[in-house]
Amino acid sequence: MSAMKLLILPGDGIGPEVMAEVRKVIDWLGANKGLAFEVEEDLVGGASYDAHGTPLTDEAMAKAQAVDAVLLGAVGGPKWEKLDFSVKPERGLLRLRKEMDLYANLRPAQCFDALADFSSLKKEVVSGLDIMIVRELTSGVYFGEPRGIVEEGNERVGINTHRYTESEIARVARSAFELARKRGNRVCSMEKHNVMEAGILWHDVVEEVHKAEYSDVELSHMLADAGAMQLVRWPKQFDVIVTDNLFGDILSDCAAMLTGSLGMLPSASLGAPMENGRPKALYEPVHGTAPDIAGQGKANPIACILSFAMALRYSFDLGAEADALEKAVEAVLAKGIRTADLGAAEGSTPASTSEMGDAIIAELAG
Ligand code: IPM
Ligand code: MG
């Protein structure tokens, strides 16, 4: 196998803490499984702004383009809230997504048995849940032009443009259909064709791709607002959901909470294959920087560790190793080991970030 190159961008808030646990897993795999990753590290978000005056330097961007996979922690926080929009921490992440052309964002929502009681929904609604949201990540209202805040008459107007081309819709639809074939073989596409022309086009292009290339997969459509309602009513009806950038942002936070905690959800952002056959890829937890608990060793590293498991699977074809890591997480949870966000048992002290990482590695070591 050719060298496996990683760029780690820990970012802000709890990003560096949770990423430190991923580093332990990487080192363990190197020492015990002969998996030699080449690891570089750089800054992104507020951390990069503080050091360089920009949320992502051109050097860091070039490194991201040159590796097999980028592992990102989280970006943003109150410290940088007042900055000009163009240098906000989030712009660093959006630049990575756009310039690497990571159009398919995979956000699996799986409910571990041990956590079914902890969801805000009834146990029977979430236990055994295993759905995959495929969010379009490089277009739509996040990037459409024109955009800005302009003067019109004697008031200001905020403008963003929701825009999708046929090819942008078709390629993310293909990603969803391909994934469905390896899972439950069902795709539900969500948009709002009742109020948006771009929604009509979304609906039609998904239908066309389905008819021409994936008629073996079961396809349904739902308006995105109804989809949000169905996600909390009976989420197990879904297998793969495919949707645009903004709806996907919202629906995936909603799906994340079904599993008990935002601290559990990983994600993979994939683009076209590179010369070595591996896809352009960035892996990051769905959660944010949690500034209220940053630096206290309380954060749950599981979402970040599971994001690395997705890297093993999707970038390096190491499915068995990814399974082992996911099983280790499951086993640790089954033993009742909990970080604070997962509600430790009455009278017991919650596990710290590093205790959780150590427990997962101990489980891997078997
Ligand atoms: C996400 C986040 C980002 C987004 C922010 C940090 C820019 O909420 O990845 O879901 O809106 O895409
Ligand atoms: Mg989000």
Query: Do β-strands 37-41 and 4-11 pair in parallel, antiparallel, or remain unpaired?
Result: parallel
| The pLDDT of residue 138 is above 70 | yes
219 lines ligand 1 (CB under 6 A): no
Beta strands in the chain (DSSP E): 4-11, 37-41, 69-74, 104-110, 130-136, 144-152, 155-161, 186-191, 218-223, 240-243, 268-273, 279-283
- How far apart are alpha carbons 96 and 93 in whole angstroms? 5
pLDDT of residue 1: 59
Question: What sign does the dihedral 43-49-55-58 (CA atoms) show?
Answer: negative
Average pLDDT over residues 29-49: 97
191 with 307, same domain?
Answer: no
Under 8 Å between Cβ of 89 and 81: no
74 falls within a domain:
yes
Question: Has residue 111 been placed in a domain?
Answer: no
- Residues forming the active site: 142, 192, 225, 249, 253
Question: Cβ(133) to ligand 1 under 6 A?
Answer: no
Out of 56, 87, 90, 102, mutate this one to test ligand 1's pocket (max ligand atoms within 8 Å of CB): namely: 90
Phi/psi for 150 (5° steps) reads -125, 160
Q: Are 127 and 111 in contact (CB under 8 A)?
A: yes
Which atom of ligand 1 lies nearest, measured to the CA of 252? Answer: 10
Tell me if 71 sits within 8 A of 19, measured CB to CB: yes
Q: Is the dihedral of CA 132, 306, 302, 55 positive or negative?
A: negative
255 shares its domain with 285: no
Task: Examine the domain organization and report whether 206 and 128 are in the same domain.
Answer: yes
3-class SS of residue 223: strand
User: Do residues 211 and 132 both lie within one domain?
Assistant: yes
> Which of 214, 241, 259 is the last residue before a domain boundary?
259
pLDDT of residue 310: 98
In a domain, 327, yes or no: yes
Query: Based on C-alpha coordinates, what's the Rg of the chain?
Result: 20
Residue 40 in contact with ligand 1 by CB distance below 6 A: no
Query: Residue 354: inside a domain, yes or no?
Result: yes
Q: Please tell me whether residues 3 and 56 are part of one structural domain.
A: yes
Task: Give yes or no: residues 251 and 303 share one domain.
Answer: no
Using pLDDT thresholds of 50, 70 and 90, give the confidence band for residue 83.
Answer: very high
- For the chain, give the number of residues: 366
pLDDT higher than threshold 80 for residue 176: yes
Q: Is 99 in the pocket of ligand 1 (CB under 6 A)?
A: no
Number of domains into which the chain is organized: 2
Same domain assignment for residues 212 and 333: no
282 domain residue, yes or no: yes
Domain with 26, as residue range(s), is: 1-106+265-366
- Ligand 1 centroid to residue 249 C-alpha, Å: 7
| CATH code of residue 13 | 3.40.718.10
Q: Determine the atom of ligand 1 nearest the C-alpha atom of 267.
A: 9
The pLDDT tens digits for 222-237 are 999 999 999 999 999 9
Ligand nearest to the CA of 75: 1
- Determine whether the shortest distance from the Cβ of 93 to ligand 1 is under 6 A: yes
| 125 and 249 assigned to the same domain | yes
3-class SS of residue 43? coil
**What pTM did the predictor assign?**
0.95
CA distances from 133 to 40, 138, 184, 205, 229 (A): 30, 15, 13, 18, 15
End-of-domain residue from the set 259, 275, 303? 259
Q: Poorest-confidence range of 62-66, 289-293, 345-349?
A: 345-349
Q: Please indicate, yes or no, whether residues 124 and 233 belong to a single structural domain of this protein.
A: yes
Q: Is residue 26 part of a domain?
A: yes
Q: If you average pLDDT over residues 68-79, what whole number do you get? A: 98
Residue 112 inside a domain? The answer is: no
Q: Which of 233, 259, 285 is the last residue of a domain?
A: 259
Same domain, 248 and 273: no
- Residue 56 alpha carbon to ligand 1 centre in Å: 16
Share of the chain above pLDDT 70, in %: 99
pLDDT of 346 higher than 80 = no
* pLDDT range class, residue 259, cuts 50, 70, 90: confident
Q: Is 42 in the pocket of ligand 1 (CB under 6 A)?
A: no
What does pLDDT average to over the chain?
96
Residue with the bigger pLDDT between 14 and 262: it is 14
- pLDDT on residue 343: 80
**H helix intervals, 236-339:** 245-258, 302-314, 319-334
User: For residue 33, is pLDDT > 70?
Assistant: yes
CA of 74 to the centre of ligand 1 (A): 9
CB 231 within 8 A of CB 255: yes
